[in-house]
Structure 1
Amino acid sequence: MTNFPIDKIRLDFPILQRKVNGKPLVYLDNAATSQTPKQVIDCIVEYYSLYNANIHRGVHTLSQEATDAYEAAREKIRVHFNAKHREEIIFTSGTTEGINLVAHGFSKRLKKGDEVIVSALEHHSNIVPWQMMCEETGAKLRVLPMLPNGELDMNAYADLVNANTKLVFVNHISNALGTINPIKQIIEKAKKVGAAVLIDGAQAAPHIKADVQDLDVDFYVVSAHKMCGPTGVGVLFGKKTWLEKLHPYQGGGEMIDQVSFEQTTYAGLPHKFEAGTPNICGGIAFGAAIDYMNTIGFEAIAQYEHDLLVKATQALFEIDGLKIYGTAKEKTSVISFNIEGIHPYDIGTIVDKLGIAVRTGHHCAKPIMDYYKIPGTVRASFAFYNTFEEVEALVQAVKKAKEMLS
């Protein structure tokens, strides 16, 4: 992509200027967490320097300024994901809390004989909460299987969905393989039997601008730290009709209307699900991160990252004994690979000595590793601030690791 302003973009990220083990940092662990531009860092510093105060409760100036900034961030996020109502945006501590919040709410609604469907491509955070919910309710957990190329078996999905299906949950993009799942098709089929759908958008949000109204999805969850924002904050989008039905996840301040020792009534949305003092600075900074990414443009980001993915895939495939896991037709900028006879941890350790940060292990997606009968993979994941020179550095480092370990 010739017109992508990569040199200008890289100057926005202070951490990219540092060295690791005496080598220039090549950060290729973006699927775990993205780096943070100075525009977001400045937003965080400004909050704590100028108007750090609790929100929604104070009449003093700092509280009002903090409240206004926090709610402005909620509105930015609503617009970004095209939610219909501001109160459909619930601030959370991240994707994991968003999923647990919905699972808790449905634990009050499901019963024995009900069925829920999870895909074989899920992160543990989109498996374990539903297992816990099924143990509590007696509902049955059914698994949508995967194919050898890392795609979901949509023929099997057609057979799984039935009148007993109450919930379907699947990730938009696999964190371990980079597969982009056909979520619109999944949602449409679930709707035909009246099932609700939760989409884990944590890996998709840095690459794809999801339109929740166009998708007609019931719940969509994301984390700020995957989108150039801070850790410890995320968002649950939930359709207003569903959020009004679900029981609160936590009790405490902010989520109440009236409290007495005889009875408590709950606040309206979104406060019903936002108990306690939130990560105020994190929410405001999340809004700043979304502003930053939209300034670059998601179409431009997607195209540039695709070009990085193609170059890296082609170059790695040329290494003898290297196998890439996840070769779906629709895929984003993640490459999971192993070299025959070499443990992924050993490869990760050597490339780190060369200044290159990759992920090794099962990536919180152990069922995928069990499917391939491997202990884990080396995962290189690219962001819009990576360069083609860094792709070449990765390839040379992997070749060096193979030479040393063979």
Structure 2
Amino acid sequence: MTRYAIDETRSELVATWETGYGSVAIRVAPLAASIPPRQRLALAAELSGLSEALWRCYTHPASAADSLEINTEGWRREQARNEFASVTANISKPNLPDGDGLLMVSYDPVEEYAHRVGRCLHAAADAVLTAAVVADVEAEIAAVEGAELGDLSGRSAQAVQLTRQDASPVQVAAANQILTDDPLGADELFLNLDPTSACVAAAHWLLAAAEVVSEMSGTAVTEIVVEADDIEALPHATPAAVLELMEIGLSPTDAVTGMIRYAMAVAEGEAPDVDDLRDKLEEADEKAERYEGNDPEADTEFMTIRLTTLDPRRPARDMLEDLLAGIRGCWLVYQEYAERPAGPEDDVSDDKLDDEIDTAFRNEVRARASADRRRLNLEDRD
């Protein structure tokens, strides 16, 4: 989202947002000396709130809700998204207190923040400032709409830092191409793409890598990353969970978005799966009873329950890091089982042998990922 702030030195309203490479700042408008400091800060705060409400429509699309029936969460999301068309009108002509001091307040965050911004501008009574703010808000709305279509260029690049409950086919296809070029991943996955969509592609490639290594080693697909953790410490819980979900028939999209939505709910203070929570509590109780009194520190650790394997503050980017670590784990196990020269007559330098094994891994994983590309449901885009 875009953060608005006051540059007190230059007496200007500025806007800043993060990208995959760093933060960007732009000048929105000069501020007249007649506008009190409190009003200036209020305008910046309400604009930041409006931006957050607009981008929430991107991160929490109606399409990701369970129902669009009236008064459901999906219905409310749909109503908020429909308010995009009225934002600038509400800024230009906001609800104001009537003669009795009563004020009409909207339950919809997009609509209400637009009115709040409008009331700040009404108090400032500066036509130049109002025009500049309206133009900047229009640019912000266009950025959200561009991100919804899978275009993360320009101002829409701030979506790279956000977690979305749904994946974009355009972005999944772009991530799939990056992984085709290098199955172990590349910085572009973090710098240029929606992380949820990148996770969908990474999950597909993780399964391809695990299947290749499973056939070579005889280790179950779902155990590959756990075995890799014995070779080199890596965050195996998330990739193992994703592999288990895909092994029982979920698509990469359903496996990824399901876990991400769960983590996003946890971040908002919810326990979305009571049965899962109950199972974790019972498991913790069993472990505590088994080791009761033997190790107080262990007791404390057993009674600490993780509601999700992801970081709820940044679930999509955290998952992407873990899935790429899982692919690297497959690469480590592949190296362990790769055939080595049997004798001096087959002597090959270590560096050359490592390069050959690395090339073989990448080629085999590419072939498997290409053969099972249907898992990504990208055929309609070809």
TM-score > 0.5, shorter chain as reference? no
TM norm structure 2: 0.24
Q: TM-score normalised to the size of structure 1? A: 0.23
Higher helix fraction (1 or 2)? 2
